[in-house]
Every structure is written in C-alpha cells, then in structure tokens.
Amino acid sequence: MGAISDGFFESIRLLFSLDPYIYDIIAVSLRVSGIALFLSTLIGVPLGALLALSRFRGKQVVTALLYTGMGFPPVVVGLFVFLFLSASGPLGSLRWLFTVKAMITAQTIIAFPLVAGFTMAAVASVDRNLLRQLRALGATKLQASWAAIREARVGVLVAIIAGFGGVISEVGAVMLVGGNIEGRTRVLTTAIVLETRKGNFGVAIAFGIVLLLITFITNLAMLYLQKRQLLEEE
C-alpha cells in the first residue's frame, strides 16, 4: 500500500517539477503519434472516401484488407516493420531502425486502417441524393467527393481521433522498432514499462497519469463530436 501512495505523491511532485526527462518523453510521444496521425489522415481519409463513393474492381478485397488492418495486432505490425527495416531486411539501407522514423512508420500502419475504415462508414452515410444533386450543380467527381467528406466532417474527425487513440497508447510496436532509447525513442508507454521494471513507481505513475489524461481528452473530444452530430441530425 505504501509503495502505491508513495509513488502517487512522487508522481505529482514530478509532474509539477517540470523535470525535463518527463517532458521530453511527453514531447516525443506527441510528436511521433502526431506525425503518424497526420500521415494516416493523409492516406486514410481519401482511401475511406474512395471506398465509400466509388465502385471499382477489387473493392471488396481492399475493404476486407482494411477491416483486417483495423483489427491487426499492433505488435505484429511492429514485427513486420522491424523485419523490413533491420539491417538484412529489404529497407535496411534506410537505417531507420531504432529511430523515431521507424516508430512513425509503425504507428502510421497501425492507424491509417482505423482512419480509413471509420471515414468509409461516415462518408457512406451521406445522402446519395445529395451527391447526385451536387453533380447536377456542376461538381466534378472530385468536387462532389470533397463535399461528401465535408458533409461527413464530424464522422471523419471521430475517425481521426480513433486513429490517435489507437497509437498513443500502443506499446508493443514502438518498443520493437524504436528500442526505447532514452532521449530519442522513449515514449510514454515504453517509459512506463521500463520505470515499473526498475521499481521507479513514482515516475511510472506520472507517465500513466499523463497517458490517461491524453486518452481521456481524446475520448471526451470524440464524445463531444458524436453528440454534436446527433444534434445536427435532429
């Protein structure tokens, strides 16, 4: 019992002490997941809209792959990225292994199917009559697609937030490909693992609180957006 309460008070003290060790790790976490999310949005939103709006050969296969991607164990993604980037792997010459680039790559692969899948559902629910109307007003296919994404904006934002939630709290893949190197590739989740093992419960709990706070805010944003969508639909 003492260890927990001691750790808790220690963590509060650390969070307010502005210890650079703590804040560097928070910064790396947010940077890696932020960039991965940006890339996932760049890939996932157009891909999801394409799947929702157009018919093409092989669409079923792509959709099935996407659903598989949404439920893919992150640590297996990490394994594949590790194998590709390792010295003997096909992309070994990039020398990305154990850098943030490898972590961003893994997180992007984990997050973009989530973004694409939820975007697809959101855009598919846009009224077909509206799309036909936009075409009749002179929109090109691309312009009509963009309007459909805008119409589904709340759902698309929820998709992006879901992608963020999927990567910020992920530990296996970043541990594998990032290597948990202090000051370079150590992020919140991997730091918790390490500090707990070392018995530094205060530090571990401090990271835990930060991570909880981030996921809580993320979920709050998601709930808020979903509620706003309900209001808009009324």
Partner 1 sequence: MLSQLEARGVSYSLQGIVKDYGEFRLTVEQLELREGEIFCLLGPSGAGKSTLLRLLNFLTPPDSGKMTLFGRTYLSSNFTPELQIMRQITTVFQRPALLNERVWNNIVYPLKLRRQAVDKAAITPIIERLGLSGILDQPAATLSGGEAQRVALARALVFSPKVLLLDEPTANLDPENIAIIEGMVTSYAAEHRSTIVWITHNQFQARRVGDRVCLLEKGRIIEVNSKEKIFSDPDNQRTREFLCGDILY
Please, how many CA atoms are within 13 Å of residue 213, restricted to the half-sphere of its CB?
A: 10
227 in contact with partner 1 (CB under 8 A): no
Chain positions 64 to 93 lying near partner 1, rule: CB under 8 A, are none
Task: Please tell me the distance from the alpha carbon of residue 41 to that of residue 33, in angstroms, as a whole number.
Answer: 12
| Binding residue for partner 1, selected from 54, 140, 199, 227, defined by CB under 8 A | 140
Of 151 and 170, which has the nearer Cβ to partner 1? 151
Of 87 and 136, which has the nearer Cβ to partner 1? 136
16 in contact with partner 1 (CB under 8 A): no
60 in contact with partner 1 (CB under 8 A): no
Could you give the residue ranges of the DSSP H alpha helices within the chain? 2-16, 20-53, 59-70, 74-85, 100-124, 128-136, 141-151, 153-168, 172-178, 188-197, 201-233
| Binding residue for partner 1, selected from 75, 139, 209, 221, defined by CB under 8 A | 139
| Binding residue for partner 1, selected from 17, 54, 125, 133, defined by CB under 8 A | 133
Contact of 57 with 153, CB cutoff 8 Å: no
DSSP letter string, 90-158: TTGGG--TTSHHHHHHHHHHHHHHHHHHHHHHHHHTS-HHHHHHHHHTT--HHHHHHHHHHHTHHHHHH
136 in contact with partner 1 (CB under 8 A): yes
| Binding residue for partner 1, selected from 55, 57, 138, 197, defined by CB under 8 A | 138
| Binding residue for partner 1, selected from 73, 143, 182, 212, defined by CB under 8 A | 143
58 in contact with partner 1 (CB under 8 A): no
What burial letters (b/e) apply to 201-226, b meaning 16+ CB within 10 Å?
bbbbbbbbebbeebeeebeeebeebe
150 in contact with partner 1 (CB under 8 A): yes
From 11-19, 43-51, 144-152, 159-167, span contacting partner 1 (CB under 8 A):
144-152
Number of residues interacting with partner 1: please give it, by CB under 8 A: 17
| Binding residue for partner 1, selected from 23, 76, 125, 127, defined by CB under 8 A | 127
130 in contact with partner 1 (CB under 8 A): yes
- Residues binding partner 1 (CB under 8 A): 127, 129-130, 132-140, 143, 147, 150-151, 232
